[in-house]
Amino acid sequence: MTLNIPWEEKMNKSLISLMSAAALASTAFVSSAVADSFTLRIGSGHPSAPTPYVRNLENVFVPNVVARVAAETDHKIKFIEAYGGKIAKVHETLEAVEKGLLDIGAYCVCFETAKLLPLNFDYFVPFTHEDPRVVNKVKAELIEKYPELTAVLTEKYNQVYLPGLSGFDDYGIGTVEPWKKADELKGRKIVAAGPNLPWVSLFGAIPVTSTLPTMYNDMATGVAEGTVIFPTAHGGGYKFYEVAPYWTVTGFGAMNQNILTINANTAAKLPADVMAIIEEEALVYSAAVNEDAWVNYEKGLDKLVKVGEEKGLSDTVYYLPMDQQVIWAETIKDWPNTRANDIMNEYGVDGIKIMDEYMDMMEAEGHEWPVRFQFSKL
């Protein structure tokens, strides 16, 4: 059957179709009719509320950029926010930014070791400083000194590094059952993100790879008996303490693993004054995340003690003695150098020099390593 549609209606339908296609194809612009108004998609695989680097994206970075662009430029900016994997899961965020599904993405480089191994270098030097603010200062200085650490983002993955480096508070181990000595973990199934699994596997634990959103279920179902994680997650919104009430402060230290990137095509289209604000606010965001993580570190530990008392448990928070940290670090002492050589041989980045310098800089910040790892070409 043929429908007789007035030409005006046909024209309107065509215009609607064209406008819809343009809206779908456009990454950075609300419409071509308003050249100074931009809409950017921003997101992360982790949820906002329980995760410092995501909630500060929502509560600090986004509102600050919107307000400053409106107040200081002739432009306007709007964000479509997609946290908790709404557009890209934790393993997909780098690729989502690369392809323009996200204009700006925040993600942990720990999930991208095949592509971003050099940026994981601090994961390969455990027993570092406990304060994420100090770790951030040192790692940010090294990234500035060695731009080859982030150059791969633009060269291979169509995105630009923003100075929004942020981290997690002092890593420890949450377990279903208590333990007092490092060798008691031998044979236990311990879950972690991936690149930090050798912290426990090299000591004899059985490694299980997982992510924050799935770790609770792993321990609840017996897939794992513990997790390498940080107190703001274990004693915070992820509620791991419900299934693993025992927490050991191992001295692994804080890790600055989260980066903020912008799609290169989007960055090229934005006016210079808007990009300048985005870069400046990335630094503000970085400081906010690391401060948040540090403040909530003690709160997380207090929560774990309180939960233990409510359950009638004792010693739910235990501090691993230094002699045990030394034994642990001695056991894995060859691994950091192996990873440093991997970074050099596979990516052409001098991991040996960078990781050795990282340890020196931490010592300058007052940190005492239980074991001073040695680096040399293998």
CA separation for the pair 64, 240 (Å, rounded): 32
pLDDT digits (tens, 9 = 90+) for 229-274: 998 888 887 899 999 999 999 999 999 999 999 999 999 999 999 9
Q: Please, are residues 277 and 62 in contact by the beta-carbon 8 Å criterion?
A: no
Please tell me the predicted confidence (pLDDT) of residue 318: 96
pLDDT of res. 9 = 37
The amino acid at 55: R
Domain 25-364 falls in which CATH fold? D-Maltodextrin-Binding Protein; domain 2 (3.40.190)
Return the pLDDT at 222: 95
Beta-carbon contacts of residue 146 (< 8 Å; ≥ 6 apart): 349, 350, 354
Q: Which residues pair with 80 in a beta bridge?
A: 41
Strands 37-43 and 76-82: parallel
Write phi, then psi, for 33 (nearest 5 degrees): -75, -25
User: Going by DSSP bridges, is the β-strand pair 37-43/189-192 parallel, antiparallel, or unpaired?
Assistant: unpaired
Tens of pLDDT, residue by residue over 133-186, are: 999 999 999 999 999 999 999 999 999 999 999 999 999 999 999 999 989 999
SS3 string, the chain, reads CCCCCCHHHHHHHHHHHHHHHHHHHCCCECCCCCCCEEEEEEECCCCCCCCHHHHHHHHHHHHHHHHHHHHHCCCEEEEEEECCCCCCCCCCHHHHHHHCCCCEEEEEHHHCHHHHHHHHHHHHCCCCCCCHHHHHHHHHHHHHHCCHHHHHHHHHHCEEEEEEEEEEEEEEEEECCCCCCHHHHCCCEEEECCCCCHHHHCCCCEEEECCHHHHHHHHHCCCCCEEEECHHHHCCCCCHHHCCCEEEEEEEEEEEEEEEEEEHHHHHHCCHHHHHHHHHHHHHHHHHHHHHHHHHHHHHHHHHHHHHHHCCCCCCEEECCHHHHHHHHHHCCCHHHHHHHHHHHHHCCCHHHHHHHHHHHHHHCCCCCCCCCCCCCC
Banded model confidence at residue 29, pLDDT cuts 50, 70, 90 = very low
Query: Cβ of 313: how many Cβ atoms within 10 Å?
Result: 13
- Using the Cα atoms of residue 215, residue 217, residue 220 and residue 221 in order, give the sign of their dihedral: negative
Q: What is the amino acid identity at position 172?
A: G
Min mean pLDDT across 80-84, 167-171, 194-198 is at: 194-198
Q: For residue 317, what are the contacts with CB-CB under 8 A and spacing of at least 6?
A: 247, 248, 249, 301, 304, 305, 308
Name the residue with higher pLDDT: 153 or 8.
153
Tokens of 251: 């001295």
Percentage, residues of the chain above pLDDT 70: 91
Q: Which of 96-105, 276-285, 298-307, 328-337 has the lowest mean pLDDT?
A: 298-307
What is the distance between the alpha carbons of residues 318 and 113, in angstroms, rounded to a whole number?
31
State the CB neighbour count (10 A cutoff) for residue 204. Answer: 14
- What percentage of the chain exceeds 90 in pLDDT? 82
Q: Are 88 and 102 in contact (CB under 8 A)?
A: yes
Residue matched to tokens 């060859």 = 334
pLDDT score for 263 = 98
Report the greatest alpha carbon distance in the chain: 87
Q: Give the length of the chain.
A: 378
Q: Report the chain's mean pLDDT, rounded to a whole number.
A: 90
pTM score, two decimals?
A: 0.88
Residue for token digits 């000194």? 145
Span 66-71, average pLDDT = 97
